[in-house]
Structure 1
Amino acid sequence: MFYWVCKYILIGPFLRLFFRPVLEGVENIPASGPVILASNHLSFSDSFFLPLMCPRRIVFLAKSEYFTGKGPKGLFSRLFFSAAGCVPIDRTSGSAAEAALVTGARVLGEGQPLGIYPEGTRSPDGKLYRGKTGVARLALQTGVPVVPVAMLNTHHVQPIGRLVPKVMRVRMRVGKPLDFSRYAGMAGNRFVERSVTDQIMYDLMQLSGQQYSDVYAASVKNGSDATRRAQEPVAA
């Protein structure tokens, strides 16, 4: 109930008025049944604009930090993301992440759309980064289609560190559903899961026009040595 109240009464009308969001290719989102909406992640506001424009309710896998914050801000975040039906992911534990994937499979089993950011975190610089294979495992385990969704300019609307969004038109683009039924029964095969994930990221790159970097966004944010070496040009 809170989801629909926010969408049509509390938040949605203001977002539509000031940001005039446009979602191209909405017909590619199935009208019913389970589907994985795999999106690039440019801004905190992505989780507002995509649900606003999608005709169906989306359940997102959200990082656990949104549910564990302290003080008034932490309380508001916890109440909002819980009421909106988000599923927390503990990104520091492999077993906890596996439990979140089980929850994601349950959401799909109930016939609901599941929203996932395969990069695992927001892009630090507007590039598209290497996807994590959880999205592929869910697709292979459940057999549901994956619909790529590209956020096009939300990093200009609300860059990392900016609290108040810049008022400008928001644009999004939905690609055609991807069918991975040819890999049925191969969930858990890391080579297949990587191949499926890379295909999803390729479609996101084509839709968004972003420059692709084959490293994890989290590594770039952490400034790891391995990331810096991976980004260095190879000598001829």
Structure 2
Amino acid sequence: MIYGAMKFSIGGSLKLAFRPWVEGLENIPAQGPAILASNHLSFSDSFFLPAVLDRKVTFIAKAEYFTAPGVKGKLTAAFFKGVGQLPVDRSGARGAGEAAIKAGIEVIESGGLFGIYPEGTRSPDGRLYRGKPGGLARVALATGAPVIPVAMIDTEKIQPPGQVVPKLLRPGIRIGKPLDFSRYHGMEGDRFILRSVTDEVMYEIMRLSGQEYVDIYATAAKRQIADEAKQRSEAAKRAASDGRDEQRGTDEDRDGA
């Protein structure tokens, strides 16, 4: 009931304002479980994809979105529940992963659509990064559900990281054909199989999105970008300090002349 109302109001507003184009809607099953594995360019990805589908898609979200205090916190929690987000405690890396996998399996076993971002976090620069083998592959192999690759197009231009108010640009969504990994059912404990399944899905996402692929994790790329930004900032501060010292020396020489 809440989801339907939220989808009608939010989904309808998004489609009216942004007019997202969609290819491959016929690849979403009318009923039964499936995993939607998508690239992740923007915070808004979790809203644009459900907006164009007739069925409910359940994504996982930080538990903090559901537990913030006060009126604002309650409204935020109601909003995320209404759009199909599922709270997961991320207080521990391993615990968070296990919680996400358990949540995904529960959604699939109930016959629903489970949405997941194999990269584990938003892309820092619009490129496609290596998929993490833990969540997506383990849910797929434990349940036997088909994996449907999804490519979000240009959503990073609408709402770049840190930007609250989105730009009115037209995003796109490409939905690929379902991938069947039932041949590996029950082999979720084999790390080589998990890697192979994840890489196959990422290849399909890359093909659909046209993104440049980078064979490192997005989290590592973010650390690298942050380190480089810090180094540039420190270098700029040193250059500014050296410039002040040089100017001070020039002034002293002039005064002593």
Same fold (TM over 0.5): yes
Identical positions, percent? 57
CA distance, structure 2, for counterparts of residue 68 and residue 219 of structure 1: 29
Distance 1:200 1:32, change over 3 A: same
1:160 positional shift: 0.7
**In the alignment, structure 1 residue 55 sits paired with structure 2 residue 54:** yes
Q: Compare the two structures and name the one with the higher helix fraction.
A: 2
CA distance, structure 1, for counterparts of residue 28 and residue 158 of structure 2: 25
CA distance, structure 1, for counterparts of residue 47 and residue 80 of structure 2: 11
1:68 positional shift: 4.4
Contact 1:38 1:148 in 2 (8 A): yes
Q: Which residue of 2 aligns with 1:128?
A: 128
- TM-score scaled by structure 1? 0.88
Letter in 1 for 2:108: L
SS of residue matched to 2:174: strand
Q: Which residue of 1 aligns with 2:254?
A: none
SS of residue matched to 1:88: strand
Alignment RMSD (CA, Å): 2.1
Q: Which residue of 1 aligns with 2:237?
A: none
Paired positions, count: 226
CA deviation vs aligned residue, 1:179-230 (integer Å, no higher than 9, x gap): 0111122111111001100111110000000011111112222238999xxx
Distance 1:106 1:15, change over 3 A: same
Structure whose alpha-carbon radius of gyration is higher: 2
**In the alignment, structure 1 residue 3 sits paired with structure 2 residue 35:** no
CA distance, structure 2, for counterparts of residue 13 and residue 99 of structure 1: 32
- TM-score scaled by structure 2? 0.82
CA distance, structure 1, for counterparts of residue 214 and residue 65 of structure 2: 27
Q: Which residue of 2 aligns with 1:113?
A: 113
Letter in 2 for 1:97: G
**In the alignment, structure 1 residue 21 sits paired with structure 2 residue 16:** no
SS of residue matched to 2:75: helix
Q: Which residue of 2 aligns with 1:64?
A: 63
Where do 1:1-236 residues align within 5 Å? Answer: 1-8=1-8, 10-69=9-68, 74-91=73-90, 92-133=92-133, 134-223=135-224
Distance 1:224 1:200, change over 3 A: same
Runs (5+) with no aligned partner, structure 1: 228-236
